[in-house]
Amino acid sequence: MEDKTSQFKIILGSSSLPRRKILTEMGYEFTLMSADIDEKGIRKEKPEELVMALAEAKADAILQRLPVSDYVKEAEPTLLITSDQVVVYEGVIREKPANEEEAHQFIKGYSGGHAATVGSVLVTNLKTGFRKGEWDRVEIHFHEIPDEVIEKLIEEGNVLHVARGLLIEHPLIKPYIKQVPRHYRQTFPKLVLLSLGLSPAYG
């Protein structure tokens, strides 16, 4: 695959495996750093404001651990990409579940219903200090999800580390997705491209 990072370097400020995979599929090479912030300490009423504030906070936390003055001197700019995602269910913002009981409650609530994911991407140019961010919202509809499927998902443990307590692309949950916009899988890469000042090839 053609490397698209010949004009700049990328630091992905995320521990998310799906985001790593997507960025790799987009043809970018990158290094990884985790922000390790207290996400619960940042509150906003609107989900789009919250995900942007969290992406900003993650960038700020990572910048404190980087020798920024060195990046300013480099010929090629280094871009720091941070992001966040929450779910809005019945008007309530949901982030990562606090425990297995809450994860079960979250997933059971989606069964036969629908929820919206709100995601953000923020790109910070470490050479210039310039930042640009974007957010997007996607509605997802579910069939009834059997209790045994919910239990298996919780046993795996991964649901405790993602917004909404549910991995949409998990093979156990895929059969119970009634409707999801075709661009759902493209949301993160689209936001990355927009934040880089590029035009995505899809809507």
d(CA 200, CA 53): 24
Which residue reads 């985790």 in tokens? 34
Of 3, 36, 60, 84, which one is the catalytic site residue? 84
Write the CB contacts of 143 (distance below 8 Å, at least 6 apart in sequence): 111, 112, 175, 176, 177, 178
178: phi then psi, degrees, rounded to nearest 5: -80, -45
Q: Is 84 an annotated catalytic residue?
A: yes
d(CA 44, CA 51): 9
Active site residues: 84
